[in-house]
Chains A and B, each alone.
Chain A
Amino acid sequence: AAGSGKMAAEAAVGQVVLPGDVLLLPARPDHDAERLPLGPEAAPRGRLLCGPGLRRCAAGLLVTKCGLLRHRQPGGGGGAAAGGAYWVDSQQKRYVPVKGDQVIGIVTARAGDVFRLDVGGSEQASLSYLAFEGATKRNRPNVQVGDLVYGQFLVANKDMEPEMVCMDSSGKASGMGVIGQDGFLFKVSLGLIRKLLAPKCEIIQELSQLYPFELVLGMNGRIWVKAKTVQQTLIIVNILEACEYMTSEQRKQALAKLSGN
């Protein structure tokens, strides 16, 4: 039964796990470094990715968040998770900055050469004015207090203040930077963001049939929407907020009513 303490990782996939559970991994044949692995079962596997909600421990993986255990099969799935990936699909509203995440921040202050952004975490993130594409000391970016900025975390750990940048490693903006005028910003839970960002998300596909609009999803739970009229914008906002608690049937009914109007 789930929550009994130790169980095999593969058996627990798709079930609820609680903090403190230990997931046992199948023994690796090449544990003993001196013996050369021969034979088909000792084919070298890539590294196993231990995702959010899990930690390494002596016996296997230790669960640190409650939620559903997810697994991705090894091989072909991605460069980083060549050996497969395990993570806990948990629900929370409070965001904790993670390096590499792309989020929407609100500029709250300008302290010298650095902007202070509110990203919904415990600390405000800092964003240097040189971290924009084509920014130099003479050519400063046009960022005012109260603007919305889409950027990614360069530094984010529990010991340091989070730092953001609005360009990728090659210096290109690739969509990051100040988000334009108008539009509407609202907050949802982190789980919904991940559901919306999943490839082939039904909600997004259905909404895209309604009318032209623009959408920015930040991993910190913030969504920015802009459509041609205020009414259309508010309709999309209401649907996205309600999506969390609607079943797909209810959602399709609601959308059918809308497109009928």
Chain B
Amino acid sequence: RTYSKETEVVRFCLYFQFMQRGLDSQTKKQLEEEEKKIISEEHWYLDLPDLKEKESFIIEERSFMPCEDLLYGRMSFKGFNPEIEKLMVQMNSKSKKEEIEVDDKMEADVSDEEMARRYETLVGTIGKKFLKKRDQRVLRDEDEDENSNSRPKKAKKMFLKPQD
């Protein structure tokens, strides 16, 4: 569809942000459709059949390193450069380790059960630090009750009226 110059300008203005609010949904839809049509008509495409993507199992590689497992390039012999000799051991064993892929866990110094037990009591111990004084006293009294039930409670110190 071709428009006259004036209507073309007006129609173009409708695309601006400030005009979008005033438009109702129908006009918006119309605008979108027209835009899509324009794009699809101007869109160039090759009239060829789709090539199936195949053979993703071959990787092209221009370097010799992964093919031949070459060693590390810096070498030192008979202790001429001790740092390089240490590096040689490290680098050459690293390339071998990648192949073997050792994935056993490191032996833990403390077993998981011990950790759980320790944390159980730890939370309580640290938590006590942050209690208010009154609560601390209550806790202490509770502990005492548990340990020695028979001990009578000390009478609370109250005001004693002086006897004449």
Contacts and interface: CB of A to CB of B under 8 A. Distances in A.
Answer yes or no: are A and B bound together in one complex.
yes
Given A72-B67, A79-B98, A199-B69, A212 B57 contact: no
Contacts of B59: 47-50, 80
A214 interface: yes
Nearest to A87: B67
A171 interface: no
Contacts of B98: 78-79
A175 B87 contact: yes
Given A31-B54, A80-B66, A217-B73, 6 more contacts: A50-B60, A150-B73, A214-B75, A214-B77, A226-B80, A227-B80
A204 to B, nearest CB: 7
Contacts of B66: 49, 51, 78, 80-81, 85
A55 to B, nearest CB: 7
Contact of B60 (A28, A55, A150): A55
Contact of B87 (A48, A174, A198, A228): A174
A76 interface: yes
B75 A204 contact: yes
Interface of B: 54-81, 84, 87, 91, 98-99, 101
20 contacts: A45-B57, A48-B57, A48-B59, A51-B62, A52-B67, A79-B98, A79-B99, A80-B61, A80-B66, A81-B67, A99-B62, A174-B91, A198-B68, A199-B69, A199-B70, A212-B77, A213-B77, A214-B75, A215-B77, A217-B73
A175 B67 contact: no
Contacts of B63: 52, 98-101
Nearest to B83: A175
Interface string A188-201: 00000010011100
Contact of B58 (A56, A80, A199, A212): A56
Nearest to B98: A79
B141 to A, nearest CB: 57
Closest 10 CB pairs of A and B: A212-B78, A208-B77, A212-B80, A197-B70, A80-B66, A51-B67, A217-B73, A215-B75, A214-B76, A98-B63
Contacts of B61: 49-52, 80
Chain A, interface residues (CB within 8 Å), range: 35 or more
B57 A175 contact: no
Contacts, number: 127
Contacts of B58: 47-50, 56, 61
A199 B71 contact: yes
A77 interface: yes
Nearest to B92: A199
> Which of B57, B73, B78 has the most C-beta atoms of chain A within 10 angstroms of its own C-beta?
B73
Interface in A51-90: 51-52, 54-56, 61, 70, 72, 76-81, 83, 85, 87
B64 A52 contact: yes
A149 B73 CA distance: 13
Given A28-B57, A49-B59, A175-B84, A217 B67 contact: no
Contacts of A87: 64, 67-68
A228 B77 CA distance: 12
Nearest to B54: A31
B62 to A, nearest CB: 5
Contacts of B101: 79
A70 B58 CA distance: 16
A194 B57 contact: no
Given A49-B59, A50-B60, A56-B55, A214 B67 contact: no
Nearest to A216: B74
Nearest to B81: A214
A76 B101 CA distance: 10
A56 to B, nearest CB: 5
A219 to B, nearest CB: 7
Contacts of A199: 69-71
A218 interface: yes
Nearest to A205: B77
